[in-house]
Amino acid sequence: MIRIEKRAVLPRYHHLIAALIAFAAALGLGSAIFIVLGVNPFSAYQAMFNGVFGSFHSFSEVLVKTTPLIFTGLAVAVAASMMLWNIGAEGQLVWGGIFAAGTALYLLPSAPASVLIPMIIMASACGGMMWALIPGLLKARFNVNEILTTLLLNYVAIIYMEHLFYGPWRDPAGFGFPGTAQIPEAAHLIRFLGTRMHLGFPLALACALLLFIVMKKSSWGYRVQVIGSEARAARYAGFSVSRHTLLVMALSGALAGMAGMAEVCGIHYRLQTGLAVGYGYDGIIVAWLAQLNPLAVPFTALLLGALFVGGEQLQTVFGLPSTISLILEAALLFGLFGGQALIRYRIVFPGRKKEIPTASSHSGTTS
């Protein structure tokens, strides 16, 4: 009889296998939706594929979308590696954008690029950090649930940003268009090869690499890993959970803040409505699909970026709402859960008798 049993040890590449299962699940659900809508799934996927890889320009657009996703993905991942849920990357992104625009427009409007760009990057990191430290402090000091505080602060950040560009920061020459004036040219991030792909992309990759090194090689990364895996062991080893909570939230916020900077100084050149389009929430999916590994984040961010650009293509070709990419995003995540659960089991075929070792204290079968 074929039966299903629990694996004692996870297979070696279980992270990758789970991710592949997630991908397959999303493809499957997507197909089902296309069929329901009367669209041939193959032509739909082909359209998406063409939209992504069809030309150099289209692929560069994918990288444009990938850039903020890497930042927010890293932000979520670094917090989650200490079992902190930063659902507030969206709000931190917004504050990063506000600080970036503020620096460019009001603080150093006539500085040369060589001064202005580093200042803007730092300012945006500080903006995100400041916003993330609010829930960080509440968590470290009063143990307030950070899931809810980070999330609720997103709404506050967006309301404040809207207040700025509808009110005091509104472009006087903007014909009532909601948004600030354009930031000076010196504040524009350099763009590559005639596309919209900009300096933010290599910067994001560098951050991923840096974060990987910090997590794997530094003593700080070791402590964060211990705190995230086993809080009691961390206390026993004398690591301060509250101090690390603050540091991790600060780092997380800084990364998310840079996503806002990349959008403002790389794409929009001003503060406007299009800044908060959900990259912060997408970061959660990027991080968990990458299973919190900073080096895997650029790849999962690319996958999501491709999904967005492909989704837009579906709109042009088939007239389907591009929000289908949101559904596929969720399908990826649910597929990952399914994959992770599936990996815990294996199918045992009859006939293959193995030697049965006897019980020892190893199994922990008592209790």
Which residues from 331-360 bind other proteins, rule CB under 8 A? Answer: 331, 333-334, 337-338, 340-341, 354, 356-360
DSSP string computed for 232-257 = HHHHHHT--HHHHHHHHHHHHHHHHH
Q: What burial class does residue 9 get, using C-beta atoms within 10 Å of its C-beta: 0-12 exposed, 13-18 middle, 19+ buried? A: exposed
Site string for other proteins, 163-202 (x = CB under 8 A): x---x-----------------------------------
Round to the nearest angstrom and report the end-to-end CA distance of the chain.
30
Q: Is 180 helix (H, G, I), strand (E, B) or coil?
A: strand
Interaction mask 119-148, other proteins, x per CB under 8 A = -------------------x---xxxx-xx
Q: For residue 276, how far is the Cα from the chain centroid?
A: 14
Taking the complex as a whole, the smallest distance from the CB of residue 31 to other proteins amounts, in Å, to 15
Min CB(2)–other proteins separation in Å: 15
One symbol per residue from 199 to 228: x for binding other proteins (CB under 8 A), - otherwise; what is it?
A: -----------------xxxxxxxx-xx--
Binder of other proteins out of 99, 288, 299, 308 (CB under 8 A)? 288
Instruction: Select the span of 121-129, 152-160, 198-206, 267-275 touching other proteins (CB under 8 A).
Output: 152-160
Asked if residue 268 lies in contact with residue 261, where contact means CB atoms within 8 angstroms, the answer is no
What residue has token string 């297979």? 11
Residue 263 CB, shortest distance to other proteins, in Å, is 20
CA distance to 130, 148, 157, 238, 308, per residue, from 231 (Å): 26, 21, 31, 11, 38
Among 126, 285, 297, 303, binds other proteins (CB under 8 A): 285
Among 12, 352, 353, 362, binds other proteins (CB under 8 A): 362
CB nearer to other proteins: pick between 145 and 316: 145
Q: Is 252 in contact with 76 (CB distance < 8 Å)?
A: yes
Cross-strand bridge partners of residue 261: none
Taking the complex as a whole, the smallest distance from the CB of residue 50 to other proteins amounts, in Å, to 22
Length of the chain: 367
Cβ proximity of 50 and 67 under 8 Å? no
Which C-beta is closer to other proteins: that of 70 or that of 151? 151
Q: Which of 347, 352, 353, 366 binds other proteins (CB under 8 A)?
A: 366
Coil vs helix vs strand at 44? helix
Q: Which one of 31, 50, 149, 240 is in contact with other proteins (CB under 8 A)?
A: 149
87 binds other proteins, rule: CB under 8 A: yes
The alpha carbon of 201 is separated from its chain's Cα centroid by a whole number of angstroms, namely: 14
Q: Does 12 bind other proteins (CB under 8 A)?
A: no
Segment lying near other proteins (by CB under 8 A), choices 181-189, 255-263, 281-289, 301-309: 281-289
Nearest to 121 by CA among 296, 264, 313, 323: 264
At its nearest, how many Å lie between other proteins and the CB of residue 225? 7
Query: In the set 17, 20, 113, 156, which binds other proteins (CB under 8 A)?
Result: 156
Q: Does 327 bind other proteins (CB under 8 A)?
A: yes
Q: Say how far apart CA 366 and CA 181 lie, in whole Å.
A: 70
Q: How far is the CB of 99 from other proteins (least distance, A)?
A: 18
How far is 108 from 91, CA to CA, in rounded Å?
Answer: 24
What does the buried/exposed string (b/e) look like for 43-57 if buried means 16 or more CB atoms within 10 Å of the residue's CB? ebbebbeebbeeeee
Tell me, by CB under 8 A, how many residues bind other proteins: 76
Rg (CA), the chain: 23
Cβ at position 326, least distance to other proteins in Å: 3
